[in-house]
């Protein structure tokens, strides 16, 4: 009893503040984030790792079926039992039970020890303890003593974790596990990884934190991530960092431990569950849900009752994280729906705007087409007028030449003084100008009258389309504002043009803006 209390005191003092020295580390938030991302990638490949391990076991099973001797069959049964360890406890028990019924000697002892360890994992603690207590390790050869204490350390640890709520019993199991580990360290070759992991754990459990940190860190650096010993080393380093209050380092080591568990297809694990709980406390609900549900799935697939019991304690967190995830998805759905509605309204508004722009463009195109047509008509009229004047000039030149050749200069002088020739040309010009301008502004006369007082409207004689008032205003509408140029084209003096313009302005409703209003007609 004194020995039991001494070992218990050692264990209870493991994480006392006076024994743990501060950890000096350069692990940052970024390093933790990278480690968690690596774990997420490993979880995406989880089924691939499991399939690879199962394929290896299937190969051993095929060789078992093909074995021709009892010794070969027993060796394969033991190998299959070991391969199923931490992967599928029920299958491991089945193959080991078959082997135990047929084996004897050393291989029977190995199978029995491994069988006892699996019993503790599936919750049959009494049977596991009974098996180990029925064997005297001191009577075994050295290699079987290693197997005995390796299995005993693991078995008593499983039992202790299964009865963690019963502290006295759990503490006694931990003391037995520590006793087996102490004996195991004395049996193992010192250059092996198995020796180093047990030595590091022993240092940890006996409060030699700095020694444990050195041994475990070196082991972690030298082992590949697929090695399950690396998962154990990282988990113990997490315990040290957690006791020192270094959350970043603790989380980092938990992630490294979980990565090795996943990569080695080890389903009997704690790191992923502990990490899920930590993610929940940090508010990373998505990760918490993923890690906790995967940890529970691992325990179920492994048929490890002890681990299922521990994982079941996280069920409230899993439910809460699930509810949080569900609420988050609902909120995201509402946001997405709202965004889609806004986008649809924007699209509808854009389509309406595009439709209006298309109509406006169509109107502009129609207006432009009409303007082009009017331009062509105007050019045609201008060319026609030029042609008429060329024809008139040719006829006049011939007539002058004829009169001069016959000496009728007096008659020629009389014709030019009479002004009849100019009047005829002006009449032709008015006709062509009126026709061309009214094609551009067909409602020009009525538009002008809208700008004049009711008692001062322009009234056209029957059969006429424009008069001198309208022609002067037409030139102003075309941008010809110079009275001299207007007079030249209409065959009037400048004073006459000014007189007409002043009279028209006097008849306007708004004299100040009359000329601008004329320029805006039809625009």
Q: What confidence tens digit (pLDDT) does each residue in 326-384 have?
A: 777 788 888 899 999 999 999 998 888 888 888 888 888 877 776 676 666 666 666 66
Q: How confident is the model at residue 241 (pLDDT cuts 50, 70, 90)?
A: very high
173-182, 321-330, 496-505: which range is least confident on average?
321-330
Name the least confident of 78-87, 96-105, 134-143, 281-290.
281-290
- 254 — pLDDT class (breaks 50, 70, 90): very high
| Whole-angstrom distance, CA of residue 229 vs CA of residue 430 | 111
Is the per-residue pLDDT at 5 higher than 70? no
Distance CA 274, CA 216 (A): 20
**Of 180, 173, 110, 170, nearest to 143 (Cα)?**
110
Phi, psi (rounded to 5 degrees) for 197: -65, -40
220, 254 contact by CB (below 8 A): no
- For 50, other C-beta atoms within 10 Å of its C-beta total 16
| Rounded percentage of the chain residues whose pLDDT exceeds 90 | 37
Tell me the C-alpha to C-alpha distance, in Å, between residue 259 and each of 20, 142, 280: 26, 34, 19
């Amino acid at each position: 009893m004194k020995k039991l209390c001494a070992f218990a005191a050692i264990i209870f003092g493991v994480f006392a503040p006076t024994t743990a020295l501060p950890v000096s580390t350069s692990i940052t938030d970024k390093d933790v984030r990278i480690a968690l991302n690596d774990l997420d990638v490993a979880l995406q490949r989880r089924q691939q790792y499991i399939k690879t391990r199962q394929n290896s076991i299937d190969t051993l099973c095929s060789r078992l079926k093909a074995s021709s001797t009892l010794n070969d069959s027993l060796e394969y049964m033991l190998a299959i039992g070991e391969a199923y360890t931490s992967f599928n406890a029920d299958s491991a028990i089945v193959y080991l039970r078959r082997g135990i019924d047929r084996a004897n000697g050393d291989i029977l002892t190995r199978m029995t020890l491994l069988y006892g360890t699996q019993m503790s994992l599936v919750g049959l603690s009494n049977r596991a303890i009974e098996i180990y207590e029925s064997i005297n390790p001191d009577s075994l050869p050295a290699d079987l003593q290693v197997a005995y204490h390796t299995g005993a350390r693991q078995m008593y640890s499983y039992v202790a974790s299964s009865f963690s709520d019963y502290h006295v019993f759990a503490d006694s199991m931990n003391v037995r596990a520590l006793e087996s580990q102490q004996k195991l360290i004395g049996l193992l070759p010192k250059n092996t990884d198995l020796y180093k992991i047990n030595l590091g754990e022993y240092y940890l459990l006996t409060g030699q934190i700095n020694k444990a940190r050195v041994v475990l860190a070196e082991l972690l650096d030298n082992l590949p991530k697929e090695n399950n010993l690396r998962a154990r080393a990282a988990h113990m380093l997490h315990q040290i960092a957690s006791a020192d209050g270094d959350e970043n380092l603790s989380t980092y080591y938990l992630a490294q431990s979980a990565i090795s568990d996943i990569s080695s297809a080890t389903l009997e694990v704690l790191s992923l569950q502990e990490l899920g709980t930590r993610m929940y406390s940090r508010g990373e609900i998505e990760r918490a849900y993923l890690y906790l549900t995967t940890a529970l799935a691992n325990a179920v697939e492994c048929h490890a009752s002890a681990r299922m019991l521990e994982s079941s304690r996280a069920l409230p967190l899993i439910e809460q994280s699930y509810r949080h995830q569900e609420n988050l998805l609902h909120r995201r759905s509402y946001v997405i729906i709202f965004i889609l509605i806004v986008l649809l309204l924007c699209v509808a508004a854009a389509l309406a705007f595009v439709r209006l722009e298309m109509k406006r463009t169509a109107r502009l195109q129609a207006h432009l087409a009409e303007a082009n047509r009017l331009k062509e008509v105007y050019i045609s009229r201008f060319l026609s007028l030029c042609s008429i004047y060329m024809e008139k000039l040719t006829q006049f030149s011939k007539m002058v030449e004829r009169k001069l050749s016959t000496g009728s200069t007096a008659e020629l002088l009389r014709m030019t003084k009479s002004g009849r020739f100019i009047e005829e040309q002006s009449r032709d010009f008015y006709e062509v100008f009126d026709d061309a301008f009214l094609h551009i502004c067909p409602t020009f006369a009525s538009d002008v009258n809208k700008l004049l007082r009711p008692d001062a409207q322009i009234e056209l004689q029957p059969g006429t389309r424009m008069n001198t008032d309208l022609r002067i205003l037409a030139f102003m509408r075309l941008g010809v504002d110079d009275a001299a140029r207007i007079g030249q084209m209409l065959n009037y003096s400048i004073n006459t043009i000014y007189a007409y313009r002043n009279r028209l302005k006097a008849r306007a409703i708004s004299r100040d803006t009359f000329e601008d209003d004329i320029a805006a007609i039809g625009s």
